[in-house]
Amino acid sequence: MKRTRYAVARCALSTPLNPESHDRSEWQCSVWREVVRERAFVLCRRGIPRRGAPAAADHWEYASARAMKAHSNSRSRRCACVSPTSLRKVLCSSSASGGKEDEFVLGKPWKQSQSTLWLAAFKPEHDGVADDSLQNHLDLPILSGSVQHAMTNAVVRGAEFVPIEVFRPDRTGIDGYAILNVLHRVDALDRSKSDFDVFPDDYVIPQRRGMVRAVRWPVLVAQTILDTDFLRLNEYPFPLYVSERVREIFENGGFTGWSFREVEVA
């Protein structure tokens, strides 16, 4: 039986730091997360599909620095309920949760805390109609109650829902959202067939030297994929992989905020 898997893509919030590179900004997330820690965050726009690259490659660019600047100054692309500080403050503070957003890619159950997780938009221009998957600078999958209900009824496997409070700029709440915490992480990257980079031997963070730095085109090893609907890779845990069943639930339900790219399973 073929085990089809899909990589989940979320709203376009960023762009390659080098507009001439065959790149996309998600590959830089882990690097900058280590560099800035809790002192700052980097938010940049994705751009447009790269000219000459196949659509399945998921590569992006800007035609020029001027185009990048114009897009960065534009308010034409807005995502609801995005805050540069709110959720990070809770997850990275010395509160009873005592954790970081990175804990949601560990593949482990979330430990119940005394602190309430929350996400808020502070500026009116950041308000809008909330998608079923909220876009946020932490790249966490935050799903509406409707999606949770559909997935629970379908008895999806391999994840839990961690409640989070979501607020509009006027502090009115949007009920029912939860973080999708994936509980399965495995060594499933076929290194002989995948297109990926590793950190060089002289990389500034010694602990990352030789580890997978970016995955441009993953191929997953079929026999290592557990009987689960959600998956993260031990080699590079930031992308979210889902089963065909999850894709069908999301698309057939008319939910918004996710798109899917089929991933080869060998």
Secondary structure (3-state) at 224: helix
pTM (2 decimals)?
0.67
Question: Longest Cα pair distance anywhere in the chain, in angstroms?
Answer: 52
pLDDT band of residue 86 (cuts 50, 70, 90) is very low
When mean pLDDT is compared across 62-71, 164-173, 197-206, the lowest value belongs to: 62-71
Rounded distance between C-alpha atoms, residue 138 and residue 140, angstroms: 5
Which residues does 241 contact at the CB level (< 8 Å), separation at least 6? 5, 6, 7, 8, 220, 230, 231, 232, 233, 263
pLDDT value of position 151: 97
Would you put residue 73 in left (φ > 0), alpha (ψ -120 to 50) or beta?
A: alpha
CB atoms near residue 195 (< 10 Å): 11
Which residues does 245 contact at the CB level (< 8 Å), separation at least 6? 154, 156, 229
pLDDT value of position 42: 60
- Range ranked top by mean pLDDT from 56-60, 224-228, 252-256: 252-256
Contact yes or no for 25/15 (Cβ under 8 A): yes
The residue type of 158 is G
Provide mean pLDDT across the span 14-34.
Answer: 50
pLDDT value of position 142: 92
Secondary structure (3-state) at 164: coil
pLDDT value of position 191: 94
Select the more confidently predicted residue: 1 or 73: 73
